[in-house]
């Protein structure tokens, strides 16, 4: 398992103003099903019966106009600086085409007469021609009159969609939540890749005249009457010599599927529909089958496994959110292959904004795959970057809280399945505790943790909430012990006193849990303490046991051990009444921190810095024999004392390299063998 990210966090634990979109209005529901059905039928029938119109033929005088001075400057910025990737011009043109079709559907629902509505399909057609170096995008939407062309194409940042929204904002019903382009700059992204752009268009109004608009982006544009047989708009982009890759079919298909696969209309590329995957997050969760979820998850994740968990989350307040999240069955990071990148894609009105959105979910939730579609997200002008605003923080908080609650509910619904998830993906939750911004967030994440317990049989896990519900009257703390195995935990000298008092102890076997739980600090207003920290802070408990060393002999042994071990190894040696089966035990004021920074301290300085206390059990056989051995065989007694000290270091997890004990162990074995030969 790859712990690099968590390890770094453990060590670390010591352009533009927002452009707000118009508030979405209610969706048309009456007639929507009828229109959607007829649209699908027309798309399948007319894609073969309605051919793309050829380039319109000019029929009148050419009207040459100049872009205004400020427009020329803005055009240069859009074409050269606004977008980080040139391929997004395809996304922008498809978004404009989708808006034109959505506007037409709005007019039709409201009884507006539309020219040739039944014959022209509500679809988007893309044609690539590598021979001529062109890419053509055509829609059969509202189209444009000459005045529209001057307003929408001759004036940069004048959005026809935004104006349309303003016109219908007072109406009781609208399809505005499906409209995409509102900034009025997307069309000009074509000049990043184009030598020349030609726009053929005819308005949807009966008897309207077709027009052609063309420009090379240098400052002039031309408009002339032209024959354009069908309503709608056809944009022909003559590509620059070094941008001919956008005339390649496979390249364009990849771009469309990346950015625009989920727009609300069929997209045909060279006669073949390529957006066949439905945007499941826009559909009724109850109507989606398991098979559909599997296919959609594999499509957005480029994966071959199946989702372990599925969360379909829709909210209208405090933010408008449509989201679909998946927890995969397999994660490469679980097996130490690589650190995962964020797995959630951000959409706005079904158009991709970021494929690996880093600001929407906290980094520890990077194992989640899915999509988020929100109309309230403030974007910059290019729709590529999120504005840093309170809304983004709010969205992040809402989504992460929802995912935490969802996992908590799944833990209750199917305990065994969740325990498998935690065993495999708990590293991400541990990272969440360490990186959380406040105690409330840490406590919410901590509800997802599962540990074995001294009150449960091996293999059965419990939660912190269940632990608290079982606490003894008067018990103030939650106790845990972090060791590699249960066997080591149950034989630990630090577990022994808590067991004697009847306290429940959580057993954790992950190498980072002592740090993670120390970072948690408290749960349900109960301090979370390691067993070692509890002992170092608690008062001496218990009574003198029968058979213990007499007090004078015990005092003599304590003084001898203090001299023998030296102050560079122990701060104090004292008699302990808390031990029964172990001869010694080390206590440090902060054992978790001591283990964390162990390697940063030179061996000869560790005792001085950590200041451990060595507690000896006066009733243990070894200690009683050592009390007499120190006077009978000082050399052997020193070996025993040093070995007891090192054993205590190992039990406390404070020895990083036990190989230095080997020579002493050989000497002790040799002494035992010689004694047996006598």
Binned at pLDDT 50, 70 and 90, residue 320 comes out as: confident
The residues, ordered by sequence, that sit 6+ positions from 373 with a Cβ below 8 Å of its Cβ are 279, 281, 282, 321, 322, 323, 346, 347, 348, 349, 350
What are the extents of the domains in the chain? 4-18+279-417, 32-273, 449-537, 551-677
More confident residue, 30 or 62: 62
Q: Check residue 50 and give its pLDDT.
A: 42
- Omega before 318 cis (within 30°)? yes
Q: Is 648's pLDDT higher than 80? A: yes
Q: Check residue 540 and give its pLDDT.
A: 53
Ordered strands of the 584-587 beta sheet:
572-575, 613-616, 584-587
Query: Cα(first)–Cα(last) distance of the chain, in Å?
Result: 53
User: Is 449-537 assigned to CATH 3.30.365.10?
Assistant: no
Q: Check residue 15 and give its pLDDT.
A: 30
Q: Is 36's pLDDT higher than 50? A: no
Topology alike, domains 4-18+279-417 and 32-273: no
Residue ranges of E strands in 189-246: 194-202, 210-215, 220-226, 232-239
In b/e form, how buried is each residue of 611-627, taking b as 16+ CB within 10 angstroms?
ebbbbbbbbbebbbebb
DSSP letters, 441-476, are HHHHHHTT--EEETTS-TT-EE-HHHHHHTPPTT--
Binned at pLDDT 50, 70 and 90, residue 357 comes out as: confident
Spatial separation of the C-alpha atoms in residues 208 and 214, rounded to whole Å: 19
Q: Is 182's pLDDT higher than 80? A: no
Q: Check residue 31 and give its pLDDT.
A: 34
For all residues of the chain together, what is the average pLDDT? Answer: 81
Multiple choice CATH, 551-677, 3.20.20.80, 2.60.120.200, 1.20.120.790, 2.170.120.12: 1.20.120.790
pLDDT tens, position by position, 533-549: 776 555 555 555 667 88
Q: Check residue 431 and give its pLDDT.
A: 93
Calculate what percentage of the chain has a pLDDT beyond 70.
Answer: 76
Residue 110 structure tokens: 């409201």
Q: Check residue 656 and give its pLDDT.
A: 74
Spatial separation of the C-alpha atoms in residues 271 and 250, rounded to whole Å: 14
Specify the range with the lowest mean pLDDT, choosing from 71-80, 394-403, 426-435, 441-450. Answer: 71-80
Binned at pLDDT 50, 70 and 90, residue 186 comes out as: confident
CATH architecture of 4-18+279-417: 2-Layer Sandwich (3.30)
Q: Check residue 666 and give its pLDDT.
A: 84
Q: Check residue 643 and give its pLDDT.
A: 92
Binned at pLDDT 50, 70 and 90, residue 670 comes out as: confident
Highest mean pLDDT: which of 357-366, 414-423, 587-596? 414-423
Q: Check residue 456 and give its pLDDT.
A: 95
More confident residue, 573 or 72: 573
Residue 505: name the closest of 542, 473, 549, 475 by CA: 475
Can you tell me the mean pLDDT for 554-582? 89
Calculate what percentage of the chain has a pLDDT beyond 90.
Answer: 43
What class does CATH assign to 32-273? alpha beta
More confident residue, 602 or 428: 428
Q: Check residue 539 and give its pLDDT.
A: 52
Binned at pLDDT 50, 70 and 90, residue 38 comes out as: very low
pLDDT tens, position by position, 492-521: 998 988 888 899 999 999 988 988 998 999
Q: Check residue 355 and give its pLDDT.
A: 84
pLDDT tens, position by position, 130-171: 999 999 999 999 999 998 888 878 666 444 444 444 444 444
SS3 636: helix
Highest mean pLDDT: which of 113-127, 262-276, 373-387? 262-276
């Amino acid at each position: 398992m790859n712990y690099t990210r968590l390890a770094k966090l453990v060590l670390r634990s010591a352009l533009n103003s927002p452009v707000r979109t118009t508030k979405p209005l209610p969706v048309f529901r009456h007639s929507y099903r009828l229109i959607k059905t007829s649209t699908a039928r027309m798309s399948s029938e007319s894609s073969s019966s309605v051919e793309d119109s050829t380039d319109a033929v000019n029929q009148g005088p050419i009207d040459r106009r100049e872009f205004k001075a400020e427009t020329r400057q803005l055009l240069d910025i859009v074409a050269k600086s606004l977008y980080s990737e040139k391929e997004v011009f395809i996304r922008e043109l498809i978004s404009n085409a989708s808006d034109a079709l959505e506007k037409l559907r709005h007019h039709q629902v409201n009884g507006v007469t539309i020219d040739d509505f039944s014959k022209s399909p509500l679809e988007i057609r893309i044609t690539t021609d590598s021979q001529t170096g062109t890419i053509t995008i055509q829609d059969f939407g509202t189209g444009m009159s000459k005045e529209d062309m001057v307003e929408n194409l001759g004036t940069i940042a004048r959005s026809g969609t935004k104006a349309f929204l303003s016109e219908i904002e007072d109406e009781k019903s609208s399809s505005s939540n499906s409209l995409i382009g509102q900034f009025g700059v997307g069309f000009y992204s074509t000049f990043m890749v184009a030598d020349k752009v030609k726009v053929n268009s005819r308005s949807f109004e009966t008897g309207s005249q077709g027009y052609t608009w063309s420009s090379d982006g240098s400052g002039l544009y031309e408009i002339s009457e032209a024959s354009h047989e069908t309503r709608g708009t056809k944009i022909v982009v003559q590509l620059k010599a070094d941008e001919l890759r956008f005339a390649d079919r496979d390249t364009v298909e990849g771009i469309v599927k990346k950015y625009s696969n989920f727009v609300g209309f069929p997209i045909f590329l060279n006669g073949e529909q390529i957006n066949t995957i439905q945007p499941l997050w826009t559909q009724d969760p109850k109507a989606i089958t398991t098979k559909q979820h599997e296919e959609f998850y594999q499509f957005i994740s480029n994966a071959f496994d199946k989702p372990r968990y599925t969360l379909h989350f829709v909210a209208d307040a405090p933010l408008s959110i449509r989201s679909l999240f998946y927890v995969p069955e397999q994660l490469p990071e679980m097996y130490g292959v690589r650190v995962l990148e964020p797995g959630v894609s951000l959409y706005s009105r079904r158009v991709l904004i970021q494929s690996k959105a880093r600001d929407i979910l906290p980094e520890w939730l990077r194992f989640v795959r899915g999509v988020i579609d929100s109309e309230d997200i403030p974007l910059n002008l290019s729709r590529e970057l999120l504005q840093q605003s309170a809304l983004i923080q709010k969205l992040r908080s809402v989504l992460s809280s929802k995912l935490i609650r969802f996992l908590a509910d799944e833990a209750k619904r199917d305990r065994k399945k969740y325990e498998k998830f935690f065993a495999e993906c708990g590293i991400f939750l541990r990272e969440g505790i360490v990186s959380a911004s406040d105690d409330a967030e840490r406590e919410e994440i901590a509800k997802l943790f599962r540990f074995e317990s001294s009150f449960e049989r091996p293999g059965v896990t419990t939660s912190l909430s269940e632990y608290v519900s079982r606490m003894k009257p008067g018990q103030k703390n939650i106790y845990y012990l972090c060791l590699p195995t249960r066997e080591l935990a149950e034989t630990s000298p630090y577990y022994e006193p808590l067991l004697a008092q009847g306290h429940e102890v959580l057993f954790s076997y992950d190498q980072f849990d002592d740090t993670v739980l120390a970072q948690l600090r408290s749960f349900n207003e109960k301090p979370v303490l390691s067993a070692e920290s509890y002992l170092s802070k608690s008062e001496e408990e218990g009574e003198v046991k029968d058979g213990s060393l007499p007090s004078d002999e015990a005092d003599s042994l304590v003084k001898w051990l203090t001299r023998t071990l030296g102050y560079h190894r122990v701060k104090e040696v004292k008699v302990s009444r808390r031990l029964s089966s172990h001869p010694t035990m080390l206590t440090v004021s902060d054992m978790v921190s001591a283990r964390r920074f162990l390697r940063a301290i030179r061996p000869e300085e560790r005792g001085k810095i950590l200041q451990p206390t060595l507690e000896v059990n006066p009733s243990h056989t070894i200690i009683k024999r050592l009390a007499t051995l120190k006077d009978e065989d000082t050399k052997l007694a020193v070996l025993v004392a040093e070995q007891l000290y090192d054993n205590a270091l190992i039990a406390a997890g404070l020895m990083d390299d036990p190989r230095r004990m080997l020579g002493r162990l050989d000497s002790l074995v040799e002494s035992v063998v010689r004694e047996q030969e006598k």
